[in-house]
Structure 1
Amino acid sequence: MPDEMALLVADVFEAAGLLRRSGEAIAATEGQTQARWQLLSAVSENPLTVAQAARRLGITRQGVQRVANDLVRENLAAFLPNPDHRGSPLLALTPDGRRTLERITARADDVHRTLTSGIAPNEIAGARALLHRLIEQVRTHDGQPDAGGRAPLDRP
């Protein structure tokens, strides 16, 4: 009998790849990339430093810095003074950035409704609960800190 955990890992990677490609297509409708969409989403509620956004997204600070600079150049985000640390400005959405994020999010909502038609909400909730338990098990096993009490990003 195949190892069910190994099969689950393979399924998660396959789903992640498919959803990443779908996310790229959704973001492209607004001339953006999934990386830009993720960063717009990460700073949509509260401005964050590049380092904070990188930790939240689970990627390198350097990668976030490049994307942040692109968003600032396109007037979708702006660097604001950080009262807690003068050398680390806060990245915040501009009105154009907020409108772009809202349009991408609306398209994603339409796609998600299509993808989940015929799947009961309690099945999706159960899958999410299982994935969250698995994520915490992996963090514990690897000695990584928990998510800091934060809910994971809802998008993308």
Structure 2
Amino acid sequence: MTDEPLPPDALAERLAEVYLVVGPLYRKVQRIVERDQPIMGMSVGVRAVLYQLRREGDMTVPQMARTQDLSRQFVQRMVNDAHTAGWVEIVENPAHRRSHLVRVTPAGVSAIDAVIERELRLLSRVGGDITEAEVGATLRVLTEMLNALAVTEQHGESAP
């Protein structure tokens, strides 16, 4: 391994390897979350909504959908489920009369905090003597990949 930037073709090949790991990793995590839904008491989608609201504060459904790259209809269903469970409330939006804000309730904070605590316990089992620098580099690479794909999607480009 070297600290020199890779030429575009070599970089593309290495990034393709990242996809081969990220896809199965994401699906495995999703299966674990879905399997443990009775323990956690929430679906993957509701978890995503609560986590986002916990981190970013009150948001509209369209804002959440954009930042999560999900359909507005799906996010609305997840918000409805969270509302039925008492984990969010719908409040007036001073910036927009028709697009209400979704706010996490104290019960929602407790629910998502319990889920996050459980997830962190599971993630603490990851070994390999991983360093802060390695995690930082991983996040940087994944963020660059996400940004490049967003630009491609915005311009309506297709994969070569």
TM-score (norm 2): 0.78
Rounded Cα–Cα distance in structure 2 between residues aligned with 1:27 and 1:119: 29
The residue number in structure 2 matching 1:19 is 29
Change (3 A) 1:117 1:7: closer
**One-letter code of the match for 1:18?**
K
Amino acid in structure 1 at the alignment position of 2:60: T
Aligned counterparts, 1:6-155, within 5 A: 6-25=16-35, 27-44=37-54, 45-116=56-127, 118-143=129-154
Partner of 1:149: none
| Deviations 1:66-99, CA, capped at 9 Å, x for gaps | 1111111111100001111111110001111010
- Paired residue secondary structure (1:79): strand
What amino acid sits opposite 1:37 in the alignment?
R
C-alpha RMSD of matched pairs (Å): 2.0
1:32-67 Cα offsets, whole Å, 9 max, x none, are 111111000111231111111111111000001111
TM superposition outliers: structure 1 runs of 4+ over 4 Å: 25-28
Change (3 A) 1:143 1:69: closer
Point out where structure 2 has 5 or more consecutive residues left out of the alignment.
Answer: 1-12, 156-160
Q: Paired residues, what number? A: 142
Cα deviation for residue 28 of structure 1 reads: 4.2
The CA distance in 1 between the partners of 2:81 and 2:102, in whole Å, is: 12
Higher relative contact order (CA 8 A, sep 6+): 1
Q: Residue type matched to 2:33 in 1?
A: G
Any stretches of 5+ residues in structure 1 without a counterpart?
Answer: 145-156
1:42 maps to amino acid: Q
Q: 1:50 to 1:128 in 2, by over 3 A?
A: same
Q: Structure 1 stretch 6-15 or stretch 107-116: which is displaced more?
A: 6-15
SS of 1:92's equivalent in the other structure is strand
Q: Which moved more, 1:76-85 or 1:112-121?
A: 112-121
Q: Residue type matched to 1:76 in 2?
A: W
The separation in 2 between residues aligned to 1:82 and 1:127, in whole angstroms, is 37
